[in-house]
Chains A and B, each alone.
Chain A
């Protein structure tokens, strides 16, 4: 059994929520839009309606939920924009420069032992993420395709790094 792909409806996340496709969306507007649409589409509004209406509501509401999850998250939002603009996603193996960077970060993570080390690393990652988001936003605005591809890749590994670090800072999640 092979999982081949994950696909969704023909509308993209921006279209589902009726938001203009851009990287630097206003998150407050996103919430407002999402809440306003869910207020009409959510199954709670259809509990006394026909089964057909209920089904339609589940489909619509779940599309809104997924679109919201995508747009809320910078990595997924960037990915969605790349797809819309027809920009392919690079493979790290084709970008030795970025691969090297990512490996350097992984080394730092492996070497971090004390809570203080982890905190320092957390600050560094946070700073790099911030810079990366800023540059990626400029890239999207000015249509710099190659730079978009590279900074998207950077964003992916930095986000992963952030999650890995978070897991290290957490007590064991055994039993969940």
Chain B
């Protein structure tokens, strides 16, 4: 049966050509939505012809809410209404049992709900542009996102009314957009420094195959860190700033960084208090520690894949932060070559996501082979972690491991699943603990329990266990502490119900407009 499947000629094609899907880059600082047809991806702009939507949400008086540019504009007047960089909170938990909740202007929101607002706005923007209702998307995540952050992203999409066809890694999406455009072959490095996350992936590109060889990163390292360093620099000069002043200065810091990408120096008003000159040298000094951290990670990933910097055919720069001259220069120095900058670092990830969305719904000749960024293991004696699936294993992946009981008549067994590279349990991320129950009464060591770990193409894990003597099977979902609980989901869906009516009206309007256009076309033909 296996051989038949393999030898069966044509690759399966989609049966639903009407199932349009968009690609979304849900970024820390900005988000972008794109759509691809006939492998020609384009960014879908908003009504003001802007391609980047600030990933900013603001909760105003009464029930008002602002997303994107409108929310960002409120930072100056109402900094306490505004939430920025929500992506940094995805998959984070206060304790092992409860998901993080943010308190903003009298409201309590989870990072998933806030991200869902951004996704909803992008979905709406795409529908306006395409004149079609959209329910499916490929969403990008940092390659180094862990299980919890990936799940959180998928849940945010669900809340926004989007079915996630696939989560793909940001550097992989960028490589896809770049490679298809330039028809390149060889080993490429994608250096992706966004607002809040850093990824480095090494890919081999061969005739339409995009094979990730190794990946690494830090989900708490990005351009934001440089902004904060600039704010701290001003605080050292002017003394402490109030919360409001800090938020405003943070915005100025971003402007300084962006301005100095093309100029040597400038003068800025800091929190409306003082005018201050700032130059390239100061920026370099403040940024260097973060750039060094990214290069250390690059070094490790090259070593993982057994490559030297000179083996790399090209270095693709992704993420707004790579516009900084310092980063271009340092990355170029590290890889001993000029990085490729002939694509827009802000848009390339969304474009790649839309290409993948088209491939998944309409069929494709290209092939994306990705890896799992973090090792997966289980707790063994003495609080140590035994690795079951090492990092950089191609996904989907599955491994089986047999366990046995260590006491007579033992009927249950605890399995603790962890993610991370460190040796000790407390240094890895706990994905969940579960009990295998109903083991038949047997002598110690005679039960044979086969545990299967499966990582799917989204990088998400499921675990199943089977007692081999009796055939008792248990499927265990590894999804406890960090996602939304079912009650949370229920509550949010109910809260959103009254927005539903509005959405339906909009959809009807779009459909009516389309019908009108068809009618006009028919008339033109007839005339």
Contact surface of A with B, Cβ cutoff 8 Å:
1-8, 11, 16, 18, 31, 35, 37-49, 56, 58-63, 65-66, 68-69, 166, 169-171, 173, 176
Is A43 a contact partner of B398 (Cβ separation < 8 A)?
no
State A43–B363 Cα separation when bound (angstroms): 12
State A170–B297 Cα separation when bound (angstroms): 11
Is A3 a contact partner of B380 (Cβ separation < 8 A)?
yes
A-B contact pairs, 6 of them (CB 8 A): A6-B399, A39-B209, A42-B367, A62-B397, A69-B394, A166-B303
Q: A175's closest neighbor in chain B, by CB?
A: B218
> How many inter-chain contacts with C-beta < 8 Å in the A-B complex?
127
State A35–B165 Cα separation when bound (angstroms): 22
Q: B421: which of A40, A47, A60, A173 is its contact (CB, 8 Å)?
A: A173
Residues on B with C-beta less than 8 A from A65 are 393-397
CB B204 to nearest CB in A, in angstroms, measures: 9
B400 on the interface (CB 8 Å rule)?
yes
Is A1 a contact partner of B406 (Cβ separation < 8 A)?
yes
State A1–B401 Cα separation when bound (angstroms): 12
The digit string for B489-510, where 1 denotes a CB below 8 A from any CB of A, is: 0000000000000000000000
Is B12 a contact partner of A49 (Cβ separation < 8 A)?
yes
User: Which residues from 326 to 384 on chain B have a C-beta closer than 8 Å to any C-beta of chain A?
Assistant: 356, 359-361, 363-365, 367-369, 380-381
State A60–B4 Cα separation when bound (angstroms): 12
CB B436 to nearest CB in A, in angstroms, measures: 10
CB A92 to nearest CB in B, in angstroms, measures: 22
Is A44 a contact partner of B403 (Cβ separation < 8 A)?
no
Of B3, B165, B296, B386, chain A has the most CB atoms within 10 Å of the CB of B296
Of A66, A169, A171, chain B has the most CB atoms within 10 Å of the CB of A66
State A46–B5 Cα separation when bound (angstroms): 13
Q: B209's closest neighbor in chain A, by CB?
A: A35
Question: If A2-B445, A35-B206, A48-B16 touch, does A173 touch B300 (CB 8 Å cutoff)?
Answer: yes
Residues on B with C-beta less than 8 A from A47 are 165-166, 360-361
Q: How large is the interface on B (under 10, 10 to 19, 20 to 34, 35 or more residues)?
A: 35 or more
CB A53 to nearest CB in B, in angstroms, measures: 8
Is A48 a contact partner of B457 (Cβ separation < 8 A)?
no
In the A-B complex, the 3 residue pairs with the closest CB atoms: A65-B394, A47-B360, A43-B457
CB A37 to nearest CB in B, in angstroms, measures: 6
Q: B362's closest neighbor in chain A, by CB?
A: A48
Q: B6: which of A18, A31, A176 is its contact (CB, 8 Å)?
A: A18
B15 on the interface (CB 8 Å rule)?
yes
Residues on B with C-beta less than 8 A from A56 are 5
CB A64 to nearest CB in B, in angstroms, measures: 9
Is A44 a contact partner of B367 (Cβ separation < 8 A)?
yes
Question: If A1-B403, A5-B402, A40-B6 touch, does A45 touch B396 (CB 8 Å cutoff)?
Answer: no
Question: If A3-B403, A60-B2, A60-B5 touch, does A44 touch B393 (CB 8 Å cutoff)?
Answer: no
State A47–B16 Cα separation when bound (angstroms): 11
Residues on A with C-beta less than 8 A from B402 are 3-7
Is A37 a contact partner of B394 (Cβ separation < 8 A)?
no
Residues on B with C-beta less than 8 A from A58 are 396, 398, 454, 456-457
B8 on the interface (CB 8 Å rule)?
yes
Question: If A40-B6, A41-B5 touch, does A4 touch B12 (CB 8 Å cutoff)?
Answer: no
Is B6 a contact partner of A3 (Cβ separation < 8 A)?
no
Is B367 a contact partner of A48 (Cβ separation < 8 A)?
no
Residues on A with C-beta less than 8 A from B299 are 170-171
